[in-house]
Amino acid sequence: MSACGTSTSEWEEFRASAEALEDGRLVADHDMVFEDEAELYAYWEEMSFGSPLAEDEVGAARQPLTQSTPGGVPEVWEFPQSMRLTYCVEDDFGSREATLLAALDRAAGFWSQRVGVRFERVDLTDCGTDSDEVVFNVQRHTGVAYNAIAFFPDDPRSQRVVGVADSAFTTSSGGRDLVGILAHELGHVLGFRHEHIWTACTGEGPADATALTSYDPNSVMHYPSCRPPGSASGYRLTELDYEGAIQVYGLAPALIGLVT
């Protein structure tokens, strides 16, 4: 292949950058998870040969908080499950465990302080992907290129893992920090898709996604590298993130009655 100056070796390079999960799925381009190599190739092809927006369209592109809606059906945690999203943390984080737990609390708090969702950590002696008594488990990933990965609400228990790599504790790429990375991943857990799918910045397109709000390049679900110049850095929830999430999950219980 040579179209657009792209070659087979560039595919091989991208393929080599993908990490294999224990169940055979592949992770590439930060936290994108692919079922198999064919799906990864389709993503790369779209990224390489798709039609990116003309430069003057970029600033006008819609980048709202975006919900995963496979087949038009919203992927969402129904009440009361949405108020009790339980998880356990595997015991292999070593000396970083306290840092991780504090960051998980802050990241979860970003969502639950205003949105009708609640994450609840459960102490299990043998936390793992086979821990059926919790909704998901948090697992250490080593020797991988991504900082963290997550899942969507409709995924089976075997895939409901938030993987946190060692790099997540130290990276400052794009203004990222551990709390922000976890807030972004918990956004996926709540059913929110990447914001930049509306801009053709990566190979991820808007299929099976629905926009909830108006333009917001600073969304917590938007890769920093895909934002227009002058945007915020890192991952923090914006007013529009809250607006979109509240549309789906309602207000945090503590706020009901306070808003007139």
Q: Which residues bind Zn ion (CB under 5 A)?
A: 31
Least distance in Å: CB of 115 to Zn ion? 18
**216: closest CA among 228, 200, 203?**
228
How much helix, strand and coil, in percent to the nearest 5, is found in the chain? 40, 15, 45
Decide whether 31 or 177 has the Cβ nearer to Zn ion: 31
Least distance CB 169 / Zn ion (angstroms):
18
The three state secondary structure string of 55-97 is HHHHCCCCCCCEEECHHHCCCCCCCCHHHCEEEEECCCCHHHH
Judged by beta carbon, residue 127 or residue 198, the one nearer Zn ion is 198
Closest to Zn ion by CB, 77 vs 152, is 152
How far is Cα 129 from Cα 197, in angstroms, rounded to an integer?
A: 29
The least distance separating Zn ion from the CB of residue 257, rounded to whole angstroms, comes to: 34
Q: In angstroms, what is the minimal distance from the CB of 204 to Zn ion?
A: 9
Residue sitting closest to Zn ion (CB): 31
**Which tokens sit at 35?**
């079922």
At position 155, the amino acid (one-letter code) is D
| Residue number, 31 or 75, with CB nearest to Zn ion | 31
Q: Residue 127 or 181: which CB sits closer to Zn ion?
A: 181
CB of 192 to Zn ion, least distance (A): 9
Q: Which two tokens mark 128?
A: 């793992």
